[in-house]
């Protein structure tokens, strides 16, 4: 690797597995200092081992992203420790249940919205001053094409991704005259736990690994990146 993210402070949610973990490993290889957020402490520790093998450092933050006061404290802690955040990767997501709208249990709807939408708003609320404090702040959110397809039975997940896209674009417009750049990435089908839940009969070997799209995230996280307000499909 070429050290394209050397010394950049990157906060990654959903970092214990799947795409978030793959991004963390790639960012470590590019020289970033990582703040890894996920609910599963064991998964975070496994990713941390890979980060250390790459010669990088990580701060592990084992919390559920729906613990909103904890997200507020995270921003305060990062401000005290670093004074800035250079990159925010919003990769945390949950699928919920694929079922007709009328059959969806309210607690499932609430959980999907809490993880996929509200948590990212709370992260932006907490980290916005730190992204603005960076000379080249970058916010990158992971979306899915079902956000615009209105695919039957995807209910809460599709609605949540549509809301996330609107949230990201609103933020992009708000920071357009600053050094912050905001983009969305739809990585397509990837070999992740969420994908397996949605398509249980699919052969995982037929689906690309999450490592196959990490270059897109590196390019968007670089200080030199000028792309802004885009939805990118690698």
- DSSP assignments along 17-51, one per residue: SHHHHHHHHHHHHTT-EEEEEES-HHHHHHHHHHH
Q: Which of 68, 82, 153, 157 is catalytic?
A: 157
Contact 94, 66 (CB under 8 A): no
157 an active-site residue? yes
Q: In what order do the strands lie in the sheet with 230-232?
A: 58-62, 33-38, 9-13, 87-90, 138-142, 181-185, 230-232
Q: How many CA atoms lie within 13 A of 89 on its CB side?
A: 33
- Measure the N-to-C terminal CA separation of the chain; round to a whole number of Å: 20
CA 18 remoteness from chain centre: 11
In angstroms, rounded to a whole number, what is the distance separating the alpha carbons of residues 213 and 185? Answer: 10
- DSSP assignments along 95-139, one per residue: ----S-GGG--HHHHHHHHIIIIIHHHHHHHHHHHHHHHSTT-EE
Q: Could you give the 3-state DSSP secondary structure of residue 82?
A: coil
Residues serving a catalytic function are 157
């Amino acid at each position: 690797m070429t050290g394209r993210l050397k010394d950049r402070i990157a906060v990654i949610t959903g970092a214990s597995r799947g795409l978030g973990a793959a991004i963390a490993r790639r960012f470590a290889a590019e020289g970033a200092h990582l703040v890894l957020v996920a609910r599963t402490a064991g998964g975070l520790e496994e990713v941390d081992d890979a980060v250390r093998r790459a010669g990088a450092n990580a701060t592990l933050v084992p919390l559920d992203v729906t613990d909103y006061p904890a997200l507020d404290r995270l921003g305060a802690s990062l401000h005290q420790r670093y004074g800035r955040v250079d990159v925010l990767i919003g990769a945390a997501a949950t699928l919920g249940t694929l079922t007709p709208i009328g059959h969806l249990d309210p607690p499932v709807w609430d959980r999907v919205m809490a993880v996929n939408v509200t948590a990212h708003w709370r992260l932006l609320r907490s980290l916005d001053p730190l992204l603005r404090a960076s000379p080249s702040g970058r916010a990158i959110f992971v979306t899915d094409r079902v956000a615009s397809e209105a695919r039957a039975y995807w209910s809460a997940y599709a609605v949540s991704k549509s809301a996330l896209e609107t949230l990201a674009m609103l933020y992009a417009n708000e920071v357009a005259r600053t050094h912050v750049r905001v983009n969305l990435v739809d990585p397509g089908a990837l070999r992740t736990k969420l994908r397996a839940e949605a398509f249980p009969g699919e052969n995982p070997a037929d689906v690309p690994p999450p490592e196959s799209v990490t270059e897109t995230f590196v390019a968007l996280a670089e200080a030199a990146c000028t792309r802004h307000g885009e939805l990118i499909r690698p």
